[in-house]
Amino acid sequence: MRIDHVILATTDLDRTAARLREEHGLAGVPGGRHVGLGTHNRIVPLGTGYLELLAVADPAEAATSTFGAWALATLAGGDERLMGWAVAVEDVAAHAARLGTAVDRLERAGLVVHHTGMEQAAATPATPFLIGRRAETPDPGAAAADHAVSPAGFAWIEVGGDASGLHAWLDRSATTLSVRVTAGAPVLRRAAIATADGRAIVL
C-alpha cells in the first residue's frame, strides 16, 4: 500500500494551480473531466503519488454522484479545501470483498481506474478510498511537470479520528503509511509533500 493521491477541492482550478506554482514551485498538468461525475481536475505529479486539484464542472450532474456530491459538500465550506485521500492497492477486488464494499470504476480522459470505499470516504474523509490501476494504465504521479522544486511524494498526512478504525479499514497496513492520527473530527487535516532538498510543503 502507498498513498496514491490527496484531493484538494477548489472553486477555480486555474487560481489554485497558479497559487501552488507561485508559493511552492509546484506545477500542474492537464487532467480532464470525470465521466458522469460532474467534476474535472488538474494533476500535480509528485513522482510517487500526486496532488489532485478538483473542481465541480456541472453542479447538477455532480449532485447525482457520490464523488461529485462530496466535492460540492466540501466546497460549501470554502473556495479551497482538502477533501480526501486515496491509497493504492494491488487488488481492489480483494479489499472490497474484505470490507463488504462495491468495486466501481472512474474514467477520465480515456483512462480507467477501479476503486472501492468511496461512499465511506465521502462520509468520513479521514478514511481513504482504495484505488487500483492496471499495469498498462499510466500513473498520474509519474507524469512530467515543470516544477521549480523536486517533489518526492507525500512526507505525511494528518487525519482526525480513530487510529484503530483506520488500521482496521486498511487491514492494519496503515502502520506502513506516513499517516498521523489526531483526536477530533474524522477529516483530512493536513498533507505534507516531501522535496529533494529536505523541505516539506504543508497543505
pLDDT digits (tens, 9 = 90+) for 101-112: 999 999 998 889
At residue 176, does pLDDT exceed 80?
no
Average pLDDT over residues 90-109: 94
Instruction: Note the pLDDT of residue 174.
Output: 61
Average pLDDT over residues 165-183: 84
Instruction: Note the pLDDT of residue 173.
Output: 64
Mean pLDDT of the chain, nearest integer: 94
To which CATH superfamily is domain 2-136 assigned?
A: 2,3-Dihydroxybiphenyl 1,2-Dioxygenase, domain 1 (3.10.180.10)
At residue 137, does pLDDT exceed 90?
no
What is the tens place of the pLDDT at every residue in 32-71?
999 999 999 999 999 999 999 999 999 999 999 999 999 9
CB 114 within 8 A of CB 105: yes
> Strands 2-10, 80-88: parallel, antiparallel or unpaired by DSSP?
antiparallel
Q: Hey, which residues does 108 pair with through a beta bridge?
A: 34, 111
Distance between CA 196 and CA 203 in Å, rounded? 17
At residue 182, does pLDDT exceed 70?
yes
At residue 172, does pLDDT exceed 90?
no
Q: Hey, which residues does 193 pair with through a beta bridge?
A: 154, 201
Q: Where do the domains of the chain lie?
A: 2-136
For residue 130 the three cell numbers come to 482504495
Instruction: Note the pLDDT of residue 160.
Output: 96
pLDDT-derived band of residue 1, with 50, 70 and 90 as boundaries? Answer: confident
What is the tens place of the pLDDT at every residue in 114-125?
999 999 999 999
At residue 175, does pLDDT exceed 80?
no
Measured CA angle at 160 (ends 73, 40), to 5 deg: 35
